[in-house]
Amino acid sequence: MLEQLLIFTRGGLILWTCKELGKALKSSPIDTLIRSCLLEERSGEVSFNYEAYTLKWTFHNDLGLVFVAVYQRILHLLYVDDLLSMVKESFSEIYDPKRMSYGDFDETFRQLRMEAEARGEELRKVKVVSSVKKQGQVSKSGLDGGIKSGGGGSKKDDGDGDKDKVGSLMTNGNHKDDDKTDLANGKENTADNVVLDPSKLMKLRSKGVRGRGGVRKTDSIGNKSSKVSAAEPPKKATKKNRVWDDAAPKQVKLDFTDSVGENGNGNHDHVDIAAADQGESMMDKEEVFSSDDESEDDDDDEPRSDEKKPEAKKKGWFSSVFQSITGKANLERTDLEPALKALKERLMTKNVAEEIAEKLCESVEASLEGKKLASFTRISSTVQVLCFGAMEDALIRILTPRRSIDIMRDVHAAKEQRRPYVVVFVGVNGVGKSTNLAKVAYWLQQHKVSVMMAACDTFRSGAVEQLRTHARRLQIPIFEKGYEKDPAVVAKEAIQEATRNGSDVVLVDTAGRMQDNEPLMRALSKLINLNKPDLVLFVGEALVGNDAVDQLSKFNQKLSDLSNSGTTRLIDGILLTKFDTIDDKVGAALSMVYISGAPVMFVGCGQSYTDLKKLNVKAIVKTLLK
């Protein structure tokens, strides 16, 4: 049963809702649809599932109206799409931008609903009948096939036995090439039409095809040693399984970490290194476009402005009369397909995941379909301009953060509560978590914030030493417990130590892990649930394409599935590394933001501590569409 049907403008003004269906919906599914789907350029999807509800929608792009239907998820209502299209057509005829109330539409909707339900019932009956007929045909064909196969078997028994043996000889060997030639000639490779070819027979014998007696030809021709070797194959050396419990044999310990005290701080008194001072971090510098980029942008904009000039001119008497007679043309899906196909290919060449590029084009298509165009405009050129503009707006909306994450503000707020601000760096192997953690620490130092590093990568050899090297260069305290320790416990003790010492921020380094590694993902979920960090940063490479979607979606899915608390903690932000190596292939940023909804907070663009900057949304969008 239909739960709700709502009509509202793109600005959010509710024009009409069905009073008969005025039931209170749980958890505001329509608000969630607007936030998570319509505003995130996912309007090209067929439906949206939220808790116990399924939502479907359609647009009237020329009038700027949105029609949304809500029904129970367990029900498969076949008439919802027809009902939305009929409501859209009927309501657009009486719509007036100055009118706020549409109480007279109730009776119209009642009739449309009855008509749509009747169509849905007929469609359901037709589907049931067709499925029953299909099952009957399948069972009948299976019975006929069994009878035919039985008849064929009796004929084979009456035939010549030698032909059967020749057929088995030709079919038991390596017969891929023979099958292809037989199928090409339109013949089936059976015992009735196989012609014995001596050259093929010799070829098959050399490959070791079985003969009449079941003995391989190579064995009958070969010597006795081959038979002995075939009977007793040599034993392969098997790899010994490693024992992980206390019963494992003592091995040489490859742990070169310094002696650690009870508070987790190593003995580094013998090392005296001056703090690295490499100047101001790029995070605090405003990125300025060069004049060449501006001139290129102006050149790109010139043809579009020329194409729009006829619309900007004041219409004359003749054009006004002629347009009133001919009316306006509506954009159809076939008009948009060439331009959207070109946009999709352009995005994919910029390293945007194919799935993301396709969804973006579907969203742009849904926002433009049905728009009216002036009669004296070329549809091809106008469609290109409209698609380009709609895609640009969509990309800016996606890459612009939905919520503001001001780290410095949050650090001072945590300091007032007398607790450290905790940041956890997660990601796959080899993306540069430790290096970019040091860059973030250097940036925080520039803002007079005391930082402590926590070496919670107790899995990879050399991880503690790598982080300790950064800590020495930056003269930042580091909390470490060596290897083979529980990362969640190490992080908890580091936070406690930072609270005692009065550190403002704790940067937690974790082990790299693939998104499909269940034990390591379980350990990461335990670390996050136990310590409840203020910020979870996903560190990803700017080099990845389609794999970015898989990485982020599975990280979020694992964190959600393995969470043992009431509130699920997911990825809060993204740190994009190796951005200086990709030239114009900047699509990974778009793929990661689209699939996770988390903003890109930092961009690593070099090897020094200052090479950390903010994401320039305008520059990324222009690069994607260039």
Which pLDDT belongs to residue 286? 63
**Tokens standing for residue 524:** 């990461």
Which pLDDT belongs to residue 191? 42
SS3 219: helix
Tens of pLDDT, residues 55-111: 888 888 888 889 998 888 888 788 888 889 899 889 988 898 888 888 888 889 888
- Identify which of 45-54, 172-181, 388-397 has the greatest average pLDDT: 388-397
| pLDDT for residue 533 is more than 60 | yes
- Nearest residue to 3 (alpha-carbon basis) of 77, 93, 100: 77
In the sheet with 48-50, reading across from the earlier edge strand, the strands are 14-17, 2-9, 65-72, 53-60, 48-50
Instruction: Write the DSSP string, 67-96.
Output: EEEEEETT---SSHHHHHHHHHHHHHHH--
Which pLDDT belongs to residue 17? 87
Tens of pLDDT, residues 116-128: 888 888 877 777 6
Residue 434: count other Cβ atoms within 10 Å of its Cβ. Answer: 23
Tens of pLDDT, residues 422-453: 999 999 988 999 999 999 999 999 999 999 99
Which pLDDT belongs to residue 497? 94
| pLDDT for residue 330 is more than 80 | no
**For range 559-581, the mean pLDDT:** 86
Which pLDDT belongs to residue 411? 94
Which pLDDT belongs to residue 12? 84
- Nearest residue to 205 (alpha-carbon basis) of 182, 229, 221, 226: 221
More confident residue, 376 or 13: 13
Which pLDDT belongs to residue 309? 38
**CB-based contact 348:357 (threshold 8 Å):** yes
Q: For residue 411, count CB atoms less than 10 angstroms from its CB and return exposed for 0-12, middle for 13-18, buried for 19 or more.
A: buried
Going by pLDDT thresholds of 50, 70 and 90, the confidence category of residue 2 is confident
Which pLDDT belongs to residue 258? 55
SS3 429: coil
CA dist 2 and 328 (Å) reads 36
SS3 439: helix
Which pLDDT belongs to residue 346? 92
Helices (H), 95-160: 105-158
Helices (H), 369-509: 379-399, 407-416, 433-446, 463-474, 487-501
Instruction: Write the DSSP string, 250-302.
Output: P------PPPB-TTS-B--TT---PPP---S-GGGS-----HHHHHHHHHHHH
**Tokens standing for residue 570:** 């997911």
In the sheet with 612-613, reading across from the earlier edge strand, the strands are 478-479, 451-455, 505-509, 421-427, 535-541, 573-577, 600-604, 612-613
Which pLDDT belongs to residue 479? 94
Bridge partners, 479 (sequence order): 454
**CB-based contact 445:474 (threshold 8 Å):** yes
**For range 457-469, the mean pLDDT:** 91
| pLDDT for residue 150 is more than 50 | no
| pLDDT for residue 561 is more than 60 | yes
How much is the mean pLDDT over the chain? 75
Going by pLDDT thresholds of 50, 70 and 90, the confidence category of residue 164 is very low
Tens of pLDDT, residues 294-307: 444 444 444 443 44
Cβ within 8 Å of residue 376, ≥6 positions away = 310, 319, 323
